A and B are shown apart, each in its own frame.
Chain A
């Protein structure tokens, strides 16, 4: 049952990314060239709604459906946050797609994005092979 809900949430997310033009290579170029507000509006209002609803969960002590208290995932700060962040950003401007849109575009049948998605998985593989030797 929960699997079906998660799958449906994923399908809806793919539709949101498409209908919101987040999968548009041109929109990502426009964002990095600061030529329009569209993508900043999307990311900004997503953060606003996410932050507000997480505060409501905190204030009302809403529990997760798993029965546990909601535990927020901590993001550790390190050299990787900066170096990895710069590397990802550089890639994002080339593919015009961050990981979510990569899946949506690969699913919509674009040859280039099937290749880009496989290469991203390859990038994670190489990261896993060399991660012990990278600055932390």
Chain B
């Protein structure tokens, strides 16, 4: 259990994540991917008369169980790892973020934007409600996210996944340099 009380280098984390591609195929013959559960949750909880939601979500119950596990895993490990960003994250990134007005570097996410009640500020809501919406809409339109496209898709040599991943980064860089500074200066 000791290994869960410290941060891991990339060469431990990356290979462990990569193993989920073969494990899920070998166990269930299903592909590794997280964002499809957003659709499953809509289909399971709401009765919507649209073709996109007309499928048997119960065939994909394993995915809902998997993401419930992710939430539990986050709950179990996060408190022991809630340490300051300094020392881990690049000093250059932190000084740029500091100049953009972020003050709280005491945990893995800036508390002055994401914790209660500061999340109810205009900045907080734009980042969470706005950012979250783009994540849900975008991943469903692109039919995959970092797990389904960037890891599973590229690992199985799929052209669409390479294109999708390039676009994820183009969108992310644009947002980092253009949209985020605007929001943080509001």
Contact = CB atoms under 8 A, between A and B. Distances in A.
Contacts of B173: 32, 89, 93
B28 A10 contact: no
Interface string B139-177: 111111111111111111111110111111111111110
Contacts of B151: 43, 46-47, 50
Question: Size band of the A side of the interface?
Answer: 35 or more
Contacts of A93: 131, 171-173, 175-176, 179-180
B101 interface: no
Interface of B: 3-4, 6-35, 37-39, 41-42, 46, 48, 50-53, 62, 65-79, 81, 85, 88-90, 92-94, 96-97, 105, 108-110, 113-117, 119, 124-161, 163-176, 179-180, 183
Interface string A90-128: 111111111110111111111111011111111111111
A116 B33 CA distance: 19
A103 B70 contact: yes
Nearest to A28: B172
Interface of A: 2-3, 5-33, 35-39, 41-51, 53-54, 56-57, 62, 64-66, 68, 70-78, 80-100, 102-113, 115-129, 131-132, 134
